[in-house]
Chain A
Amino acid sequence: MKFLSNNKALVALAALYIIYVLIDILHWKQGLPMNPQNLRNILSQTSYTGIIAVGMTLVIIGGGIDLSVGSLMGLLGVLSILALNKPSGEPLQTIAAIVVAIGAGALIGFANGVIITWGKIAPFVATLAGLVGFRSLALALTDARSLTATSKEVFPGLAQGGIPIPGAFDAAGRPLLAQWPIFICIAVAAVGSWILNRSVYGRRLIAVGANETAAIYSGIRANQIRVISYTFLGLCTGIVAVLQGSRLTGADPASLGQNVELDAIAAVVIGGTSLSGGKGQVWATVVGVLILGLIGNMLTISNINNNWQGCVKGVIILLAVLIQRGQKSTS
């Protein structure tokens, strides 16, 4: 029982999956909840948001928030494709794309952190400026035109390649691939989890988020701790920008990464991380991302008008917060 009450997000995911199975047996009769390709699709679709949500979890546990990641992803995607399309030949082109996106992501995340801590601007406001500014910068750099990747081999392989799942085949009879983004998401989550639970930095991040004064009185450089969390999130955003560029073999400055910040924050909240900081778990955020992915998948195949997706997600977020509150008062 204790395990169940401590892992409500996981219980919710399991319950949701069972509901999915039941509806399918009674109504849809398509076998999608057990279909390897459908499940693989859920995983690969959620892995992009997942990577950013891991970084967002750390930022939120440190008492901050970052609204700029969606727009930043658009900007980094554009920069990455621009770097890729310099005619330097493969694999140099792909390496340039990766280095530019991740490097610029970390740098801009760092700048966000500096503005928030030393500049003493509330995280909400500072990153709201980024939300507005980065998107515009992406549009200005490209004249609002979509970019297409010129690399047709190595670069698309980053997101589209993967490891064949034994015994699983797609509709055309080809081996089904577990794509690289799934593994990258798992790796980033493992790193995030290690940072939070095992590292010295993680202890300090929790302290800063829970009670910044107490942290400072304990000799912790609170500003530095918080800047690192924004830098890490920027780095995660860079990784996702490259992967999305690879998946779409290009970047559309207007739509790339749009609303990703909201999905990431929603996943963090559904996972039970406190928006006031100091408390949370990376794996719970990953479960939160999967819950959102599963709901999206159910809605897509259920013939419910796509426009209702947001409503359902909104209700789920409220429910998640209500359940977490119940958890708090009983313990």
Chain B
Amino acid sequence: MIQAIGLTKAFGNNIALNAFDITIEPGEIIGVIGENGAGKSTFMKLLSGVHQPSGGSISIQDEAQTFATPREAIAKGIAMVHQELNLIPTLSAADNIFLGREKGSLTVNRKDTNTEAAELLRLVGASFGPETLCGDLSVAQQQLVEIAKAISQKPKLIIFDEPTAVLGEQESLELFALIRGLKEQGVAVLYVSHRLPEILSLTDRLVVLRDGVKVGEYLTQGQSESSLADLMVGRPLADIFPSRSQVAPDRTPALEVKNLSSSPLVKDISLTLHQGEILGIAGLIGSGRTEFAEALVGLRTATIGHISPIKPIHTYQEAIAQGVVYISEDRKGKSLVTSMSIRDNICLVALQAIKSKQSQQATTKNWIQNLSIKVADMELPMTSLSGGNQQKCAIAKWLAVNPKILILDEPTRGVDVGAKAEIYSLIAKFAQEGMSCIVISSEMPEIIGLCHRALVFRDGRIEGELEQNELTEANIMRLAAGVEAA
């Protein structure tokens, strides 16, 4: 029995997980659900020794544990299948499975390593040999190596973080069979997923997290997808998303692109964006959505068959000059210079037009008011702001050059629910004022609640287009995963 009592984790002033209690019995499959930023990953990282709690305790068979490193958690029988793959591309599948727990004391026992790895790989339904280099495997195959690695640790508890995100349907079914097999052997399983049907069919119990707090624990039996969605969000979706503006049927195209390709991830994309429209782009991670946007604005080399009514774009400067701007999903890495001040960030792109300190301050002040950014002092570094306010600054920085077409990549990643709602109403307002927006998002409610129309990407191509009345999680998922309608 593994127990957490009052588990709390704070990052600076931000409390990611607050007084979380859970008891996990052997042979139980427990689902953990919640929106992005609800505290699921924090909980898992505390349990697996990646982070150390700021408060509360973890115990195994009533014995208190402190895991300073993942190594200690592994030693106590807690294994984790990470969402971001943690394999070494230059080592073989077998070497990856036993990494950190190699066979042999000084020399690696190649024979034992490969035999045991082959057995584990067979168990998880992999079709490749133990000596295959992980760098040569597909993402789905790498996921199988991760799972084999976790099982090889003979854990008491195994944590799955969105394991099916990169798996095909057949591989997912094999994984579920495997998880049920583990359950029969008395292994406890924590299963974290956005995919509510999986949670419903696989788990015995489920825990719902929201804003770092446990909303409740429920028996899976008797729950439905819609009841789970309500528990996760905590309020009806209508309260988060603004009402959609009407887009006239005879709308004029703001952007027409034909046959855009950018090797290797973007293949032959054609789309039309209308004035005042919010066009969603959905799809799995790695489906080429970000790469498409970067290619469109000239940040990646691309071949374009035809583009109108704007002139062809070869560099990002040409795109900006024509009012086409892209707000990256990577806020800290690509969108903002977090060590610079709020004013410097907001004025960075429009610097040619606003050189004097006074005009910069005026511009910054204007955007702070317009977007209701909560700022104590515009000369403080960007790091002094919360994620939501940082994201608003990233938007303000691009609004300062008066764009006509705004491409927002994961605009609410790592942002709390309140700020999310504000960003949504900003996007809706821009569209109402005639700006055209492309919203790239992995969060299906965002696509469904905000967009007039959505394209679903898969493997670098447009797999399908969904009109507003066709926007459902099932439709998006079906296209994103490339599964035929049942």
Q: Flag whether B102 is at the interface (Cβ < 8 A).
A: yes
Please provide the chain A residues from 172 to 215 with a CB less than 8 Å away from any CB of chain B in the complex. 198-200, 202-204, 206-207, 210-211, 213-215
Q: Flag whether B194 is at the interface (Cβ < 8 A).
A: no
A217 touches B91 (CB 8 A): no
B89 touches A199 (CB 8 A): no
Please provide the chain B residues from 405 to 428 with a CB less than 8 Å away from any CB of chain A in the complex. none
A-B contacts, 5 listed (Cβ < 8 Å) = A199-B106, A200-B108, A204-B102, A219-B101, A278-B88
Residues of A within 8 A of B99 (CB): 203-204, 207, 215, 218, 220
Q: Flag whether A216 is at the interface (Cβ < 8 A).
A: yes
Residues of A within 8 A of B106 (CB): 199-200
Q: Flag whether B236 is at the interface (Cβ < 8 A).
A: no
Q: How far is the CB of B151 from chain A (nearest CB, A)?
A: 14
Chain B window 65-108, contacts with chain A (Cβ cutoff 8 Å), 1 for yes, 0 for no: 00001110011000010100011111100010001111011111
A217 touches B95 (CB 8 A): no
- Given A199-B107, A279-B90, also A216-B102 (CB < 8 A): no
Dominant SS among interface residues on chain A: helix
Q: Flag whether B232 is at the interface (Cβ < 8 A).
A: no
Number of interface residues of A (CB under 8 A): 21
Q: How far is the CB of A90 from chain B (nearest CB, A)?
A: 36
Residues of A within 8 A of B91 (CB): 203, 206-207, 210
Q: Knowing that A204-B99, A217-B70, A278-B89 touch, tell me 15 more A-B residue pairs with CB under 8 angstroms.
A: A200-B105, A203-B99, A204-B100, A206-B88, A207-B100, A211-B86, A211-B87, A211-B88, A217-B50, A218-B70, A218-B86, A219-B69, A219-B71, A219-B74, A221-B71
Chain B residues within 8 Å of A, Cβ to Cβ: 50, 69-71, 74-75, 80, 82, 86-91, 95, 99-102, 104-108, 149
Residue of A nearest to B85 (CB): A214
Q: How far is the CB of A294 from chain B (nearest CB, A)?
A: 29
CA distance A207 to B107 in the complex (A): 16
Residues of A within 8 A of B80 (CB): 217
Q: How far is the CB of B158 from chain A (nearest CB, A)?
A: 14
Q: How far is the CB of B237 from chain A (nearest CB, A)?
A: 36
CA distance A165 to B105 in the complex (A): 40
Residue of B nearest to A279 (CB): B90
- Given A219-B71, A219-B74, also A198-B107 (CB < 8 A): yes
Q: How far is the CB of A232 from chain B (nearest CB, A)?
A: 15
Residues of B within 8 A of A207 (CB): 88, 91, 99-100
Cβ-defined partner of B100 (8 Å) among A198, A206, A213, A218: A218
CA distance A279 to B75 in the complex (A): 29
Residues of A within 8 A of B102 (CB): 200, 203-204
Chain A residues within 8 Å of B, Cβ to Cβ: 198-200, 202-204, 206-207, 210-211, 213-221, 278-279
CA distance A214 to B91 in the complex (A): 12
B101 touches A203 (CB 8 A): no
Residues of A within 8 A of B89 (CB): 210, 278
- Given A200-B102, A207-B99, A219-B71, also A214-B88 (CB < 8 A): yes
Residue of A nearest to B87 (CB): A214
A219 touches B107 (CB 8 A): no
CA distance A215 to B95 in the complex (A): 12
Residues of B within 8 A of A213 (CB): 86
Q: How far is the CB of A93 from chain B (nearest CB, A)?
A: 35
B107 touches A217 (CB 8 A): no
B104 touches A200 (CB 8 A): yes
Residues of B within 8 A of A220 (CB): 71, 99-100
Residue of A nearest to B97 (CB): A218
Q: How far is the CB of B98 from chain A (nearest CB, A)?
A: 8
CA distance A211 to B91 in the complex (A): 11
Residue of B nearest to A197 (CB): B108
Among B87, B90, B149, max chain A CB count under 10 A is at B90
Q: How far is the CB of B47 from chain A (nearest CB, A)?
A: 13
Residues of B within 8 A of A210 (CB): 88-91
Residue of B nearest to A201 (CB): B106
Residues of A within 8 A of B86 (CB): 211, 213-214, 217-218
Q: How far is the CB of A6 from chain B (nearest CB, A)?
A: 12
Residues of B within 8 A of A202 (CB): 108
Residues of A within 8 A of B105 (CB): 200
CA distance A27 to B102 in the complex (A): 56
Among A199, A200, A221, A278, max chain B CB count under 10 A is at A200
B90 touches A217 (CB 8 A): no
CA distance A217 to B108 in the complex (A): 20
B69 touches A216 (CB 8 A): yes
CA distance A203 to B94 in the complex (A): 11
CA distance A204 to B88 in the complex (A): 10
Residues of B within 8 A of A215 (CB): 88, 99-100
Q: How far is the CB of B330 from chain A (nearest CB, A)?
A: 17
CA distance A215 to B105 in the complex (A): 18
Residues of A within 8 A of B74 (CB): 219
Residues of B within 8 A of A219 (CB): 69-71, 74-75, 100-101
Residues of B within 8 A of A278 (CB): 88-90
CA distance A200 to B74 in the complex (A): 18
B95 touches A203 (CB 8 A): yes
Residues of A within 8 A of B108 (CB): 198-200, 202-203
CA distance A243 to B133 in the complex (A): 40
